[in-house]
């Protein structure tokens, strides 16, 4: 793995290009985020926001350009190393939660810990702590189909945070919620992230959601702001 540092950034991307068929999803996108920082990635539909997030998380490999996490280039890691990174140091919140329907809410939250080898009782105890923190402990024995959208998304946030990740990737986390539930999910996510000092890459097209961030990166036509915003914060 190649080592690299950029002004104290935890995660950086430089000149990312990614094409799907004839469509250029990314066309030279740059990005950087510091530990504990919440950055909103904004832009119109189809601008490349989610593709940028997927490249940053090592889910998608860019056609060219580099992504560095804690000084190491993701493309220099094996598939197993990237998978371990996503299990151990990254957390994910998606628009529709993507909870496992056959598991209870407690089991869903505990799942990342179980996959990391944590014993069931300990994993579920930690899951219960996060369910309480996200104000959904009352649905801990319910399955996802038995809870409301707002409750389910709080469970998803608990699952993202239970493993004490360094980076949380939140892709339109309030997109399927009404404004009241969306506001509460963002309040809880941002409060918990700041307390745990997790960085948050927040993809959204809503200004009310972006208001919870420290700064905004606008993606348009596959391009994003460079590292100037990060350097200016130094």
Q: Look up the CATH number of the domain holding residue 88.
A: 3.40.50.300
Judge whether residue 226 has pLDDT over 50.
Answer: no
136 φ/ψ angles, rounded to the nearest 5 degrees: -135, 25
pLDDT in tens, 83-94: 889 888 999 998
Average pLDDT in the chain? 89
In a domain, 24, yes or no: no
In a domain, 17, yes or no: no
**Pairing mode of beta strands 199-203, 38-42:** parallel
pLDDT in tens, 109-152: 999 999 989 999 999 999 999 999 999 999 999 999 999 999 99
In a domain, 22, yes or no: no
pLDDT at 232: 44
In a domain, 204, yes or no: yes
**Pairing mode of beta strands 167-171, 23-33:** unpaired
90-93, strands of its sheet edge to edge: 90-93, 167-171, 199-203, 38-42, 215-218
pTM value? 0.89
Number of domains into which the chain is organized:
1
pLDDT at 45: 82
pLDDT at 228: 44
Six-digit token pair at 190?
A: 């941002």
**Pairing mode of beta strands 64-69, 11-20:** antiparallel
215 neighbors 229 (Cβ within 8 angstroms): yes
In a domain, 7, yes or no: no
Six-digit token pair at 20?
A: 């799907």
pLDDT at 9: 92
Judge whether residue 68 has pLDDT over 90.
Answer: yes
92 neighbors 168 (Cβ within 8 angstroms): yes
pLDDT at 225: 66
pLDDT in tens, 175-208: 888 889 899 989 999 999 999 999 999 999 889 9
In a domain, 20, yes or no: no
């Amino acid at each position: 793995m190649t080592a690299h540092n950029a002004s104290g950034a935890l995660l950086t991307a430089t000149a990312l290009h990614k094409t799907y068929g004839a469509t250029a999803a990314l066309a030279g996108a740059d990005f950087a985020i510091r530990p504990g920082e919440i950055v909103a990635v904004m832009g119109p539909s189809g601008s490349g926001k989610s593709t940028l997030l997927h490249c940053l998380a090592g889910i998608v490999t860019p056609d060219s350009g580099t992504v560095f996490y804690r000084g190491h280039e993701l493309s220099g890691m094996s598939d197993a190393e990237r998978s371990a990174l996503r299990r151990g140091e990254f957390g994910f919140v998606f628009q529709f939660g993507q909870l496992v329907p056959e598991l209870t809410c407690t089991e869903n939250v505990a799942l990342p810990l179980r996959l990391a080898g944590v014993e069931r009782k300990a994993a579920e105890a930690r899951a219960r702590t996060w369910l309480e923190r996200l104000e959904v402990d009352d649905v801990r024995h319910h399955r996802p189909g038995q809870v409301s959208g707002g409750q389910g998304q709080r469970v998803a946030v608990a699952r993202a945070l239970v493993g004490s990740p360094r980076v949380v990737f939140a892709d339109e986390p309030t997109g399927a919620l009404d404004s009241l539930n969306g506001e509460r999910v963002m309040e809880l996510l941002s409060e918990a992230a700041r307390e745990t000092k997790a960085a948050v890459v927040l993809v959204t097209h809503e200004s009310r959601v972006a208001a919870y961030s420290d700064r905004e990166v606008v993606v348009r036509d596959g391009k994003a702001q460079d590292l100037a915003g990060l350097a200016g914060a130094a």
